[in-house]
């Protein structure tokens, strides 16, 4: 078993950003990625090595537009 933990950050933003293609409202792609899929490329490389990839999201923060649209 191997364990690795990567923390993709975009200068520690005040909201959450995606490091993969997404169409989820208020879940914005990192401006630095352009047309890349950083998570997808990393996961594909791990799978080629026979590794199982487990991913999680951290819902501790949201962008201001999402908070305004869903104040609850």
Task: Give domain status of residue 10, yes or no.
Answer: no
Task: Give domain status of residue 9, yes or no.
Answer: no
Position 4 scores a pLDDT of 72
Task: Give domain status of residue 11, yes or no.
Answer: no
pLDDT band at residue 49 using 50, 70 and 90 as cut-offs = very high
Residue that wins the pLDDT comparison between 20 and 12? 20
Q: Does the pLDDT at position 14 exceed 60? A: no
Instruction: Please provide residue 42's backbone torsions phi and psi, each rounded to the nearest 5 degrees.
Output: -65, -45
Task: Give domain status of residue 65, yes or no.
Answer: yes
Q: What is the mean pLDDT of residues 42-54?
A: 91
10's tokens: 């975009």
State which residues form the domain around 22: 17-69
């Amino acid at each position: 078993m191997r364990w690795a933990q990567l923390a993709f950050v975009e200068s520690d933003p005040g909201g959450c950003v995606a490091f993969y293609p997404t169409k989820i409202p208020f879940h914005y792609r990192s401006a630095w990625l352009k047309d890349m899929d950083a998570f997808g490329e990393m996961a594909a490389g791990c799978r080629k090595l026979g590794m199982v990839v487990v991913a999680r999201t951290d819902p501790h923060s949201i962008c201001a537009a999402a908070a305004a649209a869903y104040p609850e």
